Amino acid sequence: MPWKNQTGGPWGPGPKGPWGAGPQPTGPKPPDLEDLLRRAQERIRQLLPGGHLSGMGILLILIGAVAIWGMSGFFRVQSEELGVVLRFGKHVRTVQPGLNYHLPYPIETVLLPKALRVSTLNIGLTLVQDSARSTSTMRDVPEESLMLTGDENIVDVDFTVLWRIKPDGVGDFLFNIQNPEGTVKAVAESAMREWVGRSDIQPILTSERTKIEASVHELMQKTLDQYGAGVLIQQVQMQKVDPPAQVIDSFRDVQAARADLERLQNEAQTYANRVVPDSRGRAAQIVQNAQGYKEQAIAEAKGQSSRFLQVYQAYKEAPDVTRERIYLETMEHVLGDADKLVYDPGSSSSGGIVPYLPLSELTSRRSGSTANQPARTDGGAR
């Protein structure tokens, strides 16, 4: 089997640089020293008479080459970047944006990751470019967004992760993980599936979204720190949380029924809160009235029994007087409010019936006539 097209032998391509198969320098390409020396020699030969190099000419060439080689160490770090300086492939320092210098290649090289930029990662959604209309639209990715809840329901979760490189973890970001964005995406999807799997579908759709976002954020950061990824999670945002499209209509009917159930329960609770205190107040009033009637009846019974004992004691001491007194009090009680006629059997007029003189009525009429007379102004003289 011919291997002439395989640059790294029968075991695949070999290392691509002093860093193996890892990230390669992204700074300015170092100059080719041999090419620089050759061009400098040709330029000097053209300047020297006769086109021959002397010892002084060779020295000038070496000095110029060294100067050019030394100046090749200048590099610029852009505003969103940090410069990672490697000395013989080992991370020695990190430099801030601006003009900087490192020892020329091959002693030191520089990597320029976008360490100050906040990256956005969409999970469950993908951006589709329409070249004909020059527009872009978001398309759902069910294989990423469909998740199983703790109560064995399926929910469609689309969320966004904002992340960046840690300022003190640029070296970890470059050398500890091979595919940073893919690693962050896998960790985010795994953390979200874990927390959705612990929760029921109803809280996920309503009240637990903020709690799940915070929990996923914390779990992602903990996992990436364990990996030594040098990644800082800024925020986790749940964009859309819905049942699958195939059952969303039925699910909305169930949600409407649950809302009606909660509404009716709230109305019943409101009615109970209004009626129960009123009923308790009435019951307390009835109990208080009964207690008052009880105390009144007991007091009256005690008073009557005490009066009876006193009358009985008086009767034992003077029976005739007491009997007469009881008779008179009884007749007073019976005839006190009745209209009375006095009958005298010895009278001959009116068949022996003598009309009763209503003194009370005469007195009331006299009082009324006196009140209707005009007031005297002569001091009462006639």
Asked whether residue 42 carries a pLDDT value surpassing 80, the answer given is no
Reported as a single tens digit per residue, the pLDDT across 227-254 is: 888 889 989 988 888 877 777 777 778 7
Amino acid at position 227, single letter: Y
Specify the pLDDT at position 49: 53
Contact 146, 193 (CB under 8 A): no
Give 342's strand partners.
354
Helix (H, G, I), strand (E, B) or coil at 93: strand
Residues with Cβ within 8 Å of residue 165, at least 6 apart in sequence:
82, 113, 114, 115, 116, 173, 230, 231, 232
HSE-CB at 22 with a 13 A cutoff on CA atoms is 15
Which of 95-104, 122-131, 132-141, 178-187 is modeled with the greatest confidence?
A: 178-187
Asked whether residue 378 carries a pLDDT value surpassing 60, the answer given is no
Rounded to an integer, what distance in angstroms lies between the CA atom of residue 187 and that of residue 181?
Answer: 10
Specify the pLDDT at position 293: 93
Q: For tokens 């009615």, what's the residue? A: 271
Asked whether residue 380 carries a pLDDT value surpassing 50, the answer given is no
Distances (CA, A) of 296 to 287, 299, 311: 14, 5, 22
Asked whether residue 372 carries a pLDDT value surpassing 60, the answer given is no
The domain ranges of the chain are: 33-111, 119-243
Specify the pLDDT at position 370: 59
Q: For tokens 């799997």, what's the residue? A: 197
Asked whether residue 376 carries a pLDDT value surpassing 60, the answer given is no
Better pLDDT: 24 or 233:
233
Asked whether residue 1 carries a pLDDT value surpassing 60, the answer given is no
Reported as a single tens digit per residue, the pLDDT across 265-308 is: 999 999 989 899 989 999 999 999 999 999 999 999 999 899 88
Contact 77, 97 (CB under 8 A): yes
Q: What is the pLDDT averaged over residues 117-129?
A: 82
233, 106, 85, 109: which is closest to 171 by C-alpha? 85
110, 82, 114: which is closest to 24 by C-alpha? 110
Reported as a single tens digit per residue, the pLDDT across 186-217 is: 999 999 999 888 888 888 887 788 888 899 99
Grade residue 382 by pLDDT with cuts at 50, 70 and 90.
Answer: very low
**How many C-beta neighbours within 10 Å does residue 83 have?**
23
Contact 77, 95 (CB under 8 A): yes
Radius of gyration of the chain (CA): 57
Specify the pLDDT at position 26: 52
Q: Which two tokens stand for residue 240?
A: 């859309």
Rounded to an integer, what distance in angstroms lies between the CA atom of residue 297 and that of residue 302?
Answer: 8
Distances (CA, A) of 261 to 211, 271, 276: 26, 15, 22
Reported as a single tens digit per residue, the pLDDT across 325-363 is: 888 888 888 877 776 666 566 655 555 555 555 656 666
Q: What is the pLDDT averaged over residues 137-148?
A: 81
Q: Which two tokens stand for residue 209?
A: 């979204």
Q: Which two tokens stand for residue 34?
A: 């041999």
pTM over 0.85: no
Q: 119-243 has which CATH code?
A: 3.30.479.30
Reported as a single tens digit per residue, the pLDDT across 65-116 is: 777 777 777 777 777 777 777 788 777 777 777 777 777 778 877 777 777 7
3-state per-residue secondary structure call for 170-212: HHHHHHCCCCHHHHHHHHHHHHHHHHHHHCCHHHHHCCCHHHH
Asked whether residue 12 carries a pLDDT value surpassing 50, the answer given is no
Rounded to an integer, what distance in angstroms lies between the CA atom of residue 321 and that of residue 153?
Answer: 101
Average pLDDT, the chain: 75
Specify the pLDDT at position 78: 74
Q: What is the pLDDT averaged over residues 144-156?
A: 84
102, 96, 113: which is closest to 176 by C-alpha? 113
Grade residue 33 by pLDDT with cuts at 50, 70 and 90.
Answer: low
